Amino acid sequence: MSAKQATAASVGLLNCHICGQLSRLKRGLHEACCPRCGSALHARKPNSIPRTWALLIAAMILYVPANLLPMMHTSSLFGSQSDTIMSGVVYFWTTGSWYLALIIFFASIMVPLLKMLALMVLLVSVQRSSRWQREQRARLYRLVEFVGRWSMLDIYVVAVIVALVQLKALATIQPGPGAIAFGAVVVLTMFAALTFDPRLIWEPQRESHG
Amino acid sequence: MSAPLIACHECDLLQREVALPRGGVARCARCGAELYRSHPHGMERTLALTAGAIVLFVLANSFPIIGLQLEGQTIQTTLYNTVRTLWDEDMKSVAVLVFVTTIAMPALQLSALAYLLFPLRLGRVPAHFSAVFRVLQTVRPWGMVEVFMLGVLVSLVKLAHLAGIVPGVALWSFAALMLVMAGIGAVFDARGLWARASRLQGAAP
């Protein structure tokens, strides 16, 4: 890395996060509109750190019921049964579909967990103005953004199964409250990733006025 | 005059634009984020893929995804039916989530692309160009066709021991839609779009 590295903000330019147009910030103003596409412009995402923390903490709280409450209730002639995410994984594992067990385990349990941990690492390191492994942390942020959507997998599985087995006389499958909590975790962590401003990794000290 | 400046959208570093070879990608010198890419005929390709995706999207939504065969009877479900069932089961928030991520957002994304690209190709800048462009960029992370596709496959395996599975037309359409939308993501060039629009606006003030 070279010593002299000008950022847009350091020379009074704002980068539009929607269309990528650079524009000059008028003196005294804190916010403006992009002259090309009209989006609101900020040097940094406003209140990025407290907002991301708020969304992240909400997601962490909901992660508990998402894993403990059942995603599905199955009732048939042979009795009824409730399935959590983990029992679904175990079911696939014991019936020989170990590859599906792995996919669901990663998408539904590991990805949300690692995503929340990663966001925590990013937030804490930014708050401590850390210069540690900045390129790796930038990469971590991109990974979080890319991978988060795959956690929706279990929601879709529940939706499809419920719709199909609903209509059958032998058994009915109903969605459980875990599905609501789980959906909320996915949406909250996606919003948390969108609210986090990766530019803070490179210039943590500018965060204070945000 | 040197090359125009560009700021990295992830770390804000100012850099000079460089000319790219065909199919090349420019990355930020500091954080490695993708800055822009060059695609020969990027707009034409995006337009073609969008037209294809719209057809597939309509198919994927009007036909059953999978059917269960049991005692001579077949039970089928469309995407809209799954949303409807969740809603009726009093899982309204989950129903909305599924509807938004698999139907509303992809529909919005495809119609915004068509709205922007068709007129531009014909040499006109459509009304409310920038507003529609903003919608397009905001909507993008929320369309999850590919995740839904995997979800359908998992439920297929889960149901296979209960009854015979009949793959529906929409299953294949969804698989194709997933590929075509990934293609759109790869060739869509926002910078080229704006460059074209401002050239046209400059030509006919």
Q: Does B7 reach chain A within 8 Å, measured CB to CB?
A: yes
Report pLDDT for A27. Answer: 65
* N-to-C CA span, chain B: 26
In total, the C-beta contacts within 8 angstroms joining chain A to chain B are 189
Report pLDDT for B194. Answer: 85
Cα-based distances in Å from B46 to B170, B177, B192: 23, 14, 11
pLDDT at A34 over 50: yes
Tally DSSP H helices, then E strands, for chain A: 8, 7
- Name the domain count of chain B: 2
User: Quick one: A63 and A34 in the same domain?
Assistant: no
* Contact across the interface for A175 and B191, Cβ inside 8 Å: no
* Paired tokens of B47: 């337009």
User: Quick one: A52 and A38 in the same domain?
Assistant: no
Q: How many CB atoms lie within 10 A of CB A69?
A: 17
* Contact across the interface for B30 and A194, Cβ inside 8 Å: no
Q: Does B86 reach chain A within 8 Å, measured CB to CB?
A: yes
Rounded-to-integer distance, Cα A71 and Cα A182, Å: 9
Distance from CA of B126 to the nearest CA of A (A): 13
User: Quick one: B32 and B48 in the same domain?
Assistant: no
- Name the domain count of chain A: 2
Over chain A, what is the mean pLDDT? 83
Structure confidence by residue, pLDDT tens digits, A130-163: 888 888 888 999 899 888 888 899 899 988 888 8
Report pLDDT for B149. Answer: 92
Predicted ipTM? 0.87
Q: Does A205 reach chain B within 8 Å, measured CB to CB?
A: no
Q: Does B182 reach chain A within 8 Å, measured CB to CB?
A: no
User: Quick one: A26 and A60 in the same domain?
Assistant: no
Instruction: Provide the H-helix boundaries in B89-168.
Output: 92-99, 105-121, 129-139, 145-159
Structure confidence by residue, pLDDT tens digits, A66-101: 999 998 888 877 778 888 888 888 988 888 888 888
User: Quick one: B49 and B137 in the same domain?
Assistant: yes
Report pLDDT for A31. Answer: 67
User: Quick one: A38 and A56 in the same domain?
Assistant: no
Q: Does A153 reach chain B within 8 Å, measured CB to CB?
A: yes
Distance from CA of A164 to the nearest CA of B (A): 6
pLDDT at A62 over 90: yes
User: Quick one: A39 and A134 in the same domain?
Assistant: no
User: Quick one: B61 and B33 in the same domain?
Assistant: no
The reported pTM is 0.86
User: Quick one: A115 and A197 in the same domain?
Assistant: yes
Rounded-to-integer distance, Cα B155 and Cα A5, Å: 51
Q: What is the CA radius of gyration of chain B?
A: 21
Cα angle: A115, vertex A83, A59; to 5 degrees: 25
* Contact across the interface for B68 and A150, Cβ inside 8 Å: no
Domain housing B113: 42-203
User: Quick one: A131 and A181 in the same domain?
Assistant: yes
Chain B: residue nearest A157 by CA? B151
Ranking A13-27, A189-203, B101-115, B150-164 by mean pLDDT, the lowest is A13-27
Q: Does A40 reach chain B within 8 Å, measured CB to CB?
A: no
User: Quick one: A6 and A37 in the same domain?
Assistant: yes
User: Quick one: A85 and A4 in the same domain?
Assistant: no
Rounded-to-integer distance, Cα A95 and Cα B161, Å: 10
Rounded-to-integer distance, Cα A113 and Cα A91, Å: 21
Q: Does A154 reach chain B within 8 Å, measured CB to CB?
A: yes
User: Quick one: B143 and B192 in the same domain?
Assistant: yes
Domain housing A117: 47-209
User: Quick one: A39 and A71 in the same domain?
Assistant: no
Of B96, B105, B83, B79, which is closest to residue B170 (Cα–Cα)? B79
Distance from CA of B46 to the nearest CA of A (A): 17
Q: Does B3 reach chain A within 8 Å, measured CB to CB?
A: no
User: Quick one: A132 and A201 in the same domain?
Assistant: yes
* Paired tokens of A13: 């330019």
Q: Does B98 reach chain A within 8 Å, measured CB to CB?
A: yes
B4 close to B17: Cβ distance less than 8 angstroms: yes
Contacts of A94 in chain B (CB under 8 A): none
Restricting to B residues 142-181, those with a Cβ less than 8 Å away from any Cβ of A are: 142, 144, 147-148, 150-152, 154-155, 157-159, 161-162
Using the 3D structure, point to which of A10, A26, A43 is the last residue of a domain: A43
User: Quick one: A31 and A86 in the same domain?
Assistant: no
Q: How many CB atoms lie within 10 A of CB B73?
A: 12
User: Quick one: B8 and B93 in the same domain?
Assistant: no
Give pLDDT < 70 ranges for chain B.
Answer: 1-2, 203-205
Of B68, B79, B49, which is closest to residue B178 (Cα–Cα)? B49
